Amino acid sequence: MTTAPTPSPLSPSPAEEWHEILKAQLLRMPGLPEDLFKRLRRAKLTFGDRVHCPFLRPFFLSPEDEERVRTVAETMAELGERVVISALSDKHTFAQLHLREEEERLARIHVGFGPASTASRLDAFLLPDSLKFAEYNGESPAGAGYAETLAEIFNELPVMGQFARKYEVHRYSLSAKLLEALLQSYVDWGGSEQKPQIAIVDSEEVPTWSEFEILQERFEQMGIPTLISDPRWLEWDGKSLVAQGKKIDLVYRRVLINDIVAKPTECSALVKAYTAGAVCVANNFRCKIPHVKAFFAVLTDEQNGGLFSLGEREVIRKHVPWTRVVADVQTAHYGQHIELLAFIRKERENLVLKPSDEYGGSGVTLGWETSESAWDEAIERALSAKNGAWIVQERIPIRREIFPYIADMGRVDYRDMLVDFAPYLFRGKLCGFLTRLSSTGLANVTSGGGQVPAFRVSPKSLPSN
């Protein structure tokens, strides 16, 4: 816990201005934290019993920040699609991604339409002089419905009313952009229905089911019939995919390929319909190729330089951390020849180990927070893993900011939080952000982090006399 930050003597930042307004309003309206929690629960912004956002300030980015992120993030999405094409035509590229046999089979099913990733998300740290990506979620990123709803709730707070007198405040229409991208992929697939029947498909046990309900409501408000279905409720009659008695034209696939592989019987109707080309599925199964964390090893390994232009290689050098699949091999580290395992042991303070295909922070080992013996154990775990590869990645600079945190009994503390800033890309175009805060080195809801909305802000020009 820290005390409320003091505004700088220079022109205060948007965050400092917000904190000043908030301090005054909390004195007049001590029930503000409790009111926010009630709004969050009413809007289904909960993860289990916890609300998504125990913080009383959004994340602010400038128009210049947004443009910087847009340029690099859209390039990254383009590289993801490039690697998909290369991997499917070149066994050497494919082998570097270490997909399991069944994942490769699914990825090689011919689809012949649109991008592999209709929706994707990059996890990043945005600093004044750098933007570094930690990983690429090319498969089925969650949170867009939550992020948009959270922004709407913050937009209605009394603090925002006062703040907006001085700043132009922009929020992001994520659900409309997502729907637009899904419908475009449907058209690319050859779909001709003016209002295709969408099914949002995932297991009913997932904690993000409430987000599907948010998206269903929004898609239907925009005129597109939408239902939510567990894969076990889908039926394949040899011609059509059916759910709840309705023929499905477009699957917004949120069930992970990991789960499709692990539960083939439960997901067989979906896979059969996809294989027969009877339904548009977005993201399609090829998206697994750039989704695995070994994708960054493909990007940063000099042997693959021919896949990318000079300008793209410069983007990779500046924004993608050096990454390798853990193995007893020789490789290069920024042009220097190294024995990889010896390098990993020696450079523990500057490296991260993680499975190439896990999520929610599972298995991530931060070398600078780990003893030498525990690091050696992590290396052995990586080398002996039977089910998928592990990667080693260089440590990247992180962003921290002070945020007002709603503690027990509605008390507001000011806490120093890590800020994980994740651009959403729909059909390769930047459409908004998921912003997660954490007090530890891992920023995700499953590891106890929280979420705040992101707003683009710029000072309003003062009227001239």
Which pLDDT value is given to residue 447? 43
Taking only Cα atoms into account, the Rg of the chain, rounded to an integer number of angstroms, comes to 23
Q: Which residues contact 83 (CB under 8 A, 6 or more apart)?
A: 93, 97, 289, 290, 295, 298, 299, 307
Task: Output the 3-class SS for 106-162.
Answer: HHCCCCCCCCCCCEEEEEEEEECCEEEEEEEECCCCCCHHHHHHHHHHHHCCHHHHH
Q: pLDDT tens-digit profile of 311-324?
A: 999 999 999 999 99
Cα–Cα distance measured from residue 449 to residue 457, given in angstroms and rounded to the nearest whole number = 24
Q: Looking at per-residue confidence, does 358 or 456 come out higher?
A: 456
Q: Looking at per-residue confidence, does 130 or 197 come out higher?
A: 197
Which pLDDT value is given to residue 445? 46
Sign (positive/negative) of CA torsion 326, 389, 310, 427?
negative
274 pLDDT above the threshold of 60: yes
Q: 434 is written with which tokens?
A: 């998921």
Q: With bands split at pLDDT 50, 70 and 90, how would you rate the model's confidence at 448?
A: very low
Question: How high is the mean pLDDT of the chain?
Answer: 93
Cα–Cα distance measured from residue 115 to residue 101, given in angstroms and rounded to the nearest whole number = 22
Cα–Cα distance measured from residue 307 to residue 302, given in angstroms and rounded to the nearest whole number = 10
Which pLDDT value is given to residue 114? 87
Q: pLDDT tens-digit profile of 150-182?
A: 999 999 999 999 999 999 999 999 999 999 999
Residue 283, preceding peptide bond in cis (omega within 30° of 0): yes
Closest of 454, 457, 339 to residue 399, by C-alpha: 454
Q: 259 is written with which tokens?
A: 């789960």
CATH 3.30.1490 fits 322-394, yes or no: yes
Which pLDDT value is given to residue 166? 96
Beta bridge partners of 212: none
Asked if 58 and 454 touch (Cβ cutoff 8 Å), the reply is yes
Which pLDDT value is given to residue 388? 82
Whole-model pTM: value is: 0.93
64 pLDDT above the threshold of 80: yes
Domain range annotation of the chain: 322-394
- CA-CA-CA-CA torsion for 309, 99, 206, 145, nearest 10 degrees? 10
Mean pLDDT along residues 137-147:
94
Beta bridge partners of 298: none
Most confident among 99-113, 214-228, 395-409 (mean pLDDT): 214-228
Which pLDDT value is given to residue 129? 82
Which pLDDT value is given to residue 112? 78
Cα–Cα distance measured from residue 390 to residue 337, given in angstroms and rounded to the nearest whole number = 21
